[in-house]
């Protein structure tokens, strides 16, 4: 007779240290991307169901814009 067996998976992940400046920067960048994608969806009069594609497009565009301070785009790093 078989008994129920519990299976435990152990997944190793990278060490995470929460730092406030980094957390603020990441949240600000996420908000920036959300603003871009929301603007694209509203301006194009598209349904909200396409928001994942709008996020991908916003990130694609953002990665090609030149930073005014450094005069380079994120793709050149």
Q: Say which residues have a Cβ less than 8 Å from residue 55's Cβ, sequence separation at least 6.
A: 33, 34, 37
pLDDT category at 77 given cuts 50, 70, 90 is low
- What pLDDT score does 36 carry? 92
**What digits encode the pLDDT tens for the residues 22-60?**
778 888 888 899 999 999 999 999 998 998 999 999 999
The runs of H, that is alpha helices, within 1-77 are 20-43, 51-62
Q: Say which residues have a Cβ less than 8 Å from residue 67's Cβ, sequence separation at least 6.
A: 73, 74
In this prediction the pTM is 0.61
CA-closest candidate to residue 29, choices 70, 76, 72, 67: 67
pLDDT category at 1 given cuts 50, 70, 90 is low
């Amino acid at each position: 007779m078989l008994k129920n067996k519990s299976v435990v998976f152990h997944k190793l992940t990278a060490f995470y240290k929460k730092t406030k400046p980094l957390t603020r920067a990441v949240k600000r960048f996420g908000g920036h991307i959300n603003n871009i994608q929301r603007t694209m969806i509203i301006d194009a009069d598209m349904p909200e169901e396409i928001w994942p594609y709008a996020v991908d497009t916003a990130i694609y565009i953002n990665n090609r814009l030149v930073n005014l301070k450094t005069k380079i785009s994120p793709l050149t790093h």
